[in-house]
């Protein structure tokens, strides 16, 4: 039997493509599908646009009208827990990426945090060890530090032995004078985070599962 191949993405040659993308910080992302159908969704990184396009593609194959898809996604869409969820407390935004921390997910998470820059007075990254860093553990963490050094993030707080090398990588290339601090345990991390937290801050948590950063995130929520 012949198979029908459906392409989706940001390329206009795809059957379902997103354009006119607007990053609205805590208000999510607004985009158009195929240049015509507007969507405004509670998602906070470009990777989530692909997930939305996948859902839209499947729905259209099932012959669901665009208007129904719009209503369903805008009103009932939610991210899986710990995969980029946003919690807002007064004037603090907290992004939860604590599900895990692969090389790819960390870069995507940092991109998501950077998109909050126009809507925040301070961007804070709380980052732990990278999971499955490959044979060169030190090199992988150093290179992630180099990547983060180029992002418009104001404060980087690391936890975990390997994550210290992320901090070292940032320091080597820190032309933007980021604040970089390394903590050895969760209570110290929470204490340092509280010291840096100011009104209109956006904080993003990401790290390998073994660090249980979701517990630190929950502790922060009880403080703000």
Q: Could you tell me if residue 213 is inside a domain?
A: yes
Question: What's the domain range around 99?
Answer: 85-223
Q: Are residues 104 and 72 in the same domain?
A: no
Q: In what order do the strands lie in the sheet with 8-9?
A: 8-9, 16-23, 29-33, 37-41
213-218 mean pLDDT: 94
Question: What are the Cα distances from residue 58, in Å, to 29, 33, 65, 66?
Answer: 21, 14, 11, 12
How confident is the prediction for the chain on average, in pLDDT?
A: 94
Confidence of residue 127 (pLDDT cuts 50, 70, 90): very high
Which residue, among 60, 56, 49, has the nearest Cα to 73 in the 3D structure?
Answer: 56
Domain count, the chain: 2
Calpha distance 148→131 (Å, rounded): 17
**Residue 37 forms beta bridges with which residues?**
33
- H-helix or E-strand containing 103? helix 103-114
Q: pTM of the predicted model, to two decimals? A: 0.93
DSSP, residue by residue, 171-201:
HHT-TT--EEEEESSHHHHHHHHHHH--TTE
Residues 57 and 156 in one domain: no
Do 140 and 210 reside in the same domain of the chain?
Answer: yes
Same domain, 35 and 91: no
96 and 183 belong to one structural domain:
yes
pLDDT of residue 78: 83
Last-in-domain residue among 50, 76, 102: 76
Both 49 and 128 in a single domain? no
* pLDDT of residue 128 exceeding 70: yes
| 22 & 67 share domain | yes
Residue 222 has pLDDT above 70, yes or no: yes
Residue 3 lies in a domain: no
Band (94; pLDDT cuts 50, 70, 90): very high
Confidence at 1, pLDDT banded by 50, 70, 90: low
pLDDT value for 176: 63
Least confident of 90-99, 115-124, 139-148, 169-178: 169-178
pLDDT in tens, 141-199: 999 999 999 999 999 999 999 999 999 999 998 766 899 999 999 999 999 999 999 99
pLDDT tens digits for 61-90? 999 999 999 999 988 888 888 889 999 998
Provide the pLDDT for residue 175.
64
């Amino acid at each position: 039997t012949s198979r029908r191949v459906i392409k989706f993405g940001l390329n206009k040659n795809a059957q379902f493509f997103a354009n006119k993308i607007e990053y609205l910080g805590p208000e999510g992302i607004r985009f158009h599908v195929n240049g015509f159908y507007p969507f405004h969704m509670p998602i906070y990184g470009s990777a989530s646009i692909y997930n939305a396009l996948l859902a839209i593609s499947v729905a259209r194959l099932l012959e669901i009208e665009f208007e129904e898809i719009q209503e369903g996604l805008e009103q009932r869409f939610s991210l899986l827990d710990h995969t980029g969820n946003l919690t807002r407390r007064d004037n603090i935004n907290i992004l939860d990426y604590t599900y895990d921390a692969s090389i790819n997910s960390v870069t995507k998470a940092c991109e998501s945090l950077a998109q909050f820059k126009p809507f925040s007075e301070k961007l804070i990254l709380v980052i732990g060890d990278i999971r499955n860093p490959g044979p060169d553990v030190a090199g992988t963490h150093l290179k992630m530090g180099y990547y983060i050094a180029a992002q418009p993030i104001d404060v980087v707080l690391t936890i975990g032995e390997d994550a210290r090398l992320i901090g070292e990588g940032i320091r080597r290339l820190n032309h933007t004078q980021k604040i970089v601090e390394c903590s050895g345990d969760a209570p110290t991390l929470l204490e340092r985070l509280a010291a840096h937290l100011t009104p209109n801050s956006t904080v993003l948590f990401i790290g390998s599962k073994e660090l249980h950063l979701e517990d630190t995130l929950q502790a922060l929520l009880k403080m703000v």
